[in-house]
């Protein structure tokens, strides 16, 4: 099985909320044009269940040029911008089923000093939000939109995950006005202030 096939299998093996939990403890990586490597353990995710989910970008089958990557095969990168902040999402399920997982927070591993310079921030607040993660990596555009998250320059390494001891489920953030699904417990984390692996 080649890397893309293996990645597609990983990102569609289970329901989207199960995949969101399975991503905890995997590693998000980015190698920029200078060769600088940024990476971190994924410690918080949110699941979005597509057409049925009133908080999802594809609710009721909404399909635009902007959210088209969600309709791609499992493992497709979906980057979008909110108020000037760029967020990283990865499609789950088979092509044509627009469900995905938002990567909300990471614990830095590599590139910490450059992340701190990019964000002018240190400590817990450095990468504890989806826009913060992308800003720390120095990603401020949609150039990687639609590519696969199985290989560089922006990829998720799921080969040696560090399984969290506990997973906390809660309501998603920033979707409070999005109907009945807003309060569903589809936000998953490995601990609020620090990793619990």
CA distance 11 to 73: 9
Cα dihedral 56, 23, 80, 195, rounded to 10, equals 110
Q: So what's the pLDDT on residue 1?
A: 43
Q: So what's the pLDDT on residue 28?
A: 97
The token duo for 189 is 């984390």
Q: Is the pLDDT of residue 175 over 90?
A: no
Q: Which tens digit of pLDDT belongs to each residue from 29-65?
A: 999 999 999 999 999 999 999 999 999 999 999 999 9
CA distance 133 to 192: 16
Domains in the chain, ordered, with CATH? 3-189 (3.10.300.10)
Neighbours of 95 (CB within 10 A): 13
The token duo for 133 is 């993660």
Question: Looking at residue 15, what DSSP letter applies?
Answer: -
CB 193 within 8 A of CB 107: no
CA distance 54 to 48: 9
In sequence order, the β-bridge partners of residue 170 are: 187
Q: So what's the pLDDT on residue 3?
A: 54
CB 90 within 8 A of CB 11: yes
Q: Which tens digit of pLDDT belongs to each residue from 106-163?
A: 999 999 999 999 999 999 999 999 999 999 999 999 999 999 999 899 999 998 889 8
Q: So what's the pLDDT on residue 180?
A: 78
Question: What number of CA atoms fall less than 13 Å from residue 3's CA on the CB side?
Answer: 10
């Amino acid at each position: 099985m080649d890397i893309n096939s293996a990645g597609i299998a990983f990102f569609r093996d289970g329901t989207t909320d199960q995949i969101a939990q399975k991503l905890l403890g995997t590693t998000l990586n980015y190698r920029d044009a200078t060769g600088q490597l940024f990476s971190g353990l994924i410690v918080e995710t949110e699941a979005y269940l597509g057409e049925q989910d009133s908080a999802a970008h594809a609710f009721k089958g909404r399909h635009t040029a902007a959210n088209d990557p969600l309709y791609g095969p499992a493992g497709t990168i979906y980057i979008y911008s909110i108020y000037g902040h760029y967020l990283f999402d990865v499609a789950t399920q088979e092509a044509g089923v627009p469900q995905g997982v938002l990567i909300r927070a990471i614990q830095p591993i590599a590139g910490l000093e450059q992340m701190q310079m990019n964000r002018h921030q240190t400590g817990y607040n450095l990468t504890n939000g989806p826009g913060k993660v992308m800003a720390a990596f120095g990603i401020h555009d949609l150039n990687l939109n639609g590519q696969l998250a199985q290989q560089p320059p922006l990829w998720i390494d799921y080969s040696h995950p560090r399984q969290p001891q506990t997973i906390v489920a809660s309501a998603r953030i920033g979707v409070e006005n999005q109907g009945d699904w807003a309060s569903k417990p589809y936000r998953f984390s490995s601990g609020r202030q620090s990793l619990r692996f």
